[in-house]
Chain A
Amino acid sequence: GESVGLHLPTLSVQEGDNSIINCAYSNSASDYFIWYKQESGKGPQFIIDIRSNMDKRQGQRVTVLLNKTVKHLSLQIAATQPGDSAVYFCAETDNYGQNFVFGPGTRLSVLP
């Protein structure tokens, strides 16, 4: 099957700890951001989104933080579980088009 992210930056966390995955973006006009989770052999799966009129949004065990001043996005996962092991991508778009631009990805590895 397909292997995703063979040479990606890796974040290793202990099961039960919190994880923080970061993403920097360059387009100051970007106003909509999404975090995707991609498991091996599967397509990217939506986790959480945030629009530029917010700086924080919470979901179930996940929180996205947006700092427009420094063009930085982060994904926080609480009480990380083995099932959270995957590659995580941030994606951005702006009102001038619908083209979502994806970041390079981070592999999250959950240690038992």
Chain B
Amino acid sequence: GAGVSQSPRYKVTKRGQDVALRCDPISGHVSLYWYRQALGQGPEFLTYFNYEAQQDKSGLPNDRFSAERPEGSISTLTIQRTEQRDSAMYRCASSLDSANEKLFFGSGTQLSVL
């Protein structure tokens, strides 16, 4: 596609529910990143993939968070048993190559946990 596409744009859920956030990167981009951004702060790294391989998941806050990219394209970030503190903007980004290339960001999914 022309840019990084994320869905849904907004997600409101009740505490304890599971949510799945989708990212469709720019076609042909090797690397895909997930970031979380709180109001007034810079994006905080969660995890990234090169092709289908998850290279680094050190930024995932706990084991309720997981991500996959099974075919090396679309990625899903799943949060199980959501908590209010999970409320944030979740941003996906992709880059053409794996060797220190600029990131292209999507518009994000705003998650609100009630």
Contact = CB atoms under 8 A, between A and B. Distances in A.
Is this pair of chains taken from one and the same complex?
Answer: yes
Interface of A: 2-8, 31-32, 34, 36, 41-46, 49, 51, 89, 91, 93, 95, 97-105
A100 B107 contact: no
Contacts of A98: 31, 33, 48, 50, 55-56, 98, 100
Contacts of B114: none
Interface in B84-114: 89, 91, 93, 98, 100, 102-108, 110
What class of interface size applies to chain B in its complex with A? 20 to 34
Interface in B22-47: 31, 33, 35, 39-45
Contact of A95 (B44, B55, B56, B100): B100
Contacts of A104: 41-42
Contacts of B106: 43
Nearest to A5: B40
Nearest to A48: B102
Contacts of B55: 97-98
Nearest to B110: A2
Contacts of B43: 44, 89, 102
A100 B105 contact: no
Contact of A99 (B41, B58, B91): B58
Contacts of B105: 36, 43-45
